[in-house]
């Protein structure tokens, strides 16, 4: 199988900017127990909204790889494979899946010839957040040998409102940026 992946300079630069944005914003966090509130999910929401599926996955994977090699880009300015293997690693591993859900939704609506509505973008972000919560909670239960209830109490319940606010902000910003890029003829 010979797969050719041709990317324009614009696509590579947009993906790189979104990866850099994630690297800059995600380390800032507010500790709320075992799992901190971070802007990483906001950046993934934005990446999924603005990039096609392959690029959004690549952007999130590059972010994870940068952190895995030790650059302090994870919450609390941490880095290293031990963070990925730790109790909150499942949330980070979910980032590429989140990006696929959001960007595939954007792509599906545009291919169907329908106007992409902010409501469908918000719905895809909420679905991706549910996937992130599920994978992160399962990972936490396994690594901490905790109950599902304890994991939900530590990893999900305290974060729902903050994550919904981040999704709403990313939805509005992503929709506005995508519309402006399209109007300027710089659609990615």
CA distances from 162 to 6, 37, 46, 158 (A): 37, 8, 16, 8
- pLDDT value of residue 160: 95
CA pair distance 22, 81, nearest whole angstrom: 18
Residue 46's pLDDT is what? 96
Q: Which of 27-41, 137-151, 174-188 has the highest mean pLDDT?
A: 137-151
Domain 9-182 has CATH 1.10.10.410: no
Q: What pLDDT shows up at residue 10?
A: 81
Q: In the predicted model, what is the mean pLDDT of residues 34-56?
A: 92
pLDDT of 5:
64
**Domain ranges (residues) in the chain:** 9-182
pLDDT of residue 7: 74
Count the Cβ atoms, other than its own, within 10 Å of residue 177: 14
How does residue 118 score in pLDDT terms, banded at 50, 70 and 90? confident
Convert the pLDDT of each residue in 98-107 to its tens digit. 999 999 988 6
3-state secondary structure 4-54: CCCCCHHHHHHHHHHHHHHHHHCCCEECCCCCCEECHHHHHHHHHHHCCHH
């Amino acid at each position: 199988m010979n797969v050719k992946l041709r990317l324009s300079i614009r696509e590579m630069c947009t993906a790189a900017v979104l990866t850099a944005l994630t690297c800059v914003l995600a380390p800032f966090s507010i500790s709320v127990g075992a799992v901190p509130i971070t802007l990483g999910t906001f950046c993934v929401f934005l990446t999924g909204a603005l990039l096609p599926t392959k690029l959004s996955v690549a952007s999130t994977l590059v972010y994870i790889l940068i952190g895995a090699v030790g650059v302090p880009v994870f919450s609390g300015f941490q880095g290293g494979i031990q963070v990925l293997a730790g109790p909150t690693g499942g949330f980070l591993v979910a980032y590429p899946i989140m990006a696929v859900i959001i960007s595939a939704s954007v792509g599906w609506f545009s291919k169907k010839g329908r106007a992409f509505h902010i409501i469908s973008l918000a719905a895809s972000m909420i679905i991706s957040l549910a996937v992130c919560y599920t994978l992160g909670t399962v990972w936490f239960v396994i690594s901490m040998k905790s109950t599902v209830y304890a994991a939900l109490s530590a990893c999900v319940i305290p974060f729902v409102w903050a994550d919904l606010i981040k999704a709403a902000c990313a939805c509005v910003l992503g929709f506005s940026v995508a519309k402006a890029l399209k109007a300027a003829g710089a659609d990615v």
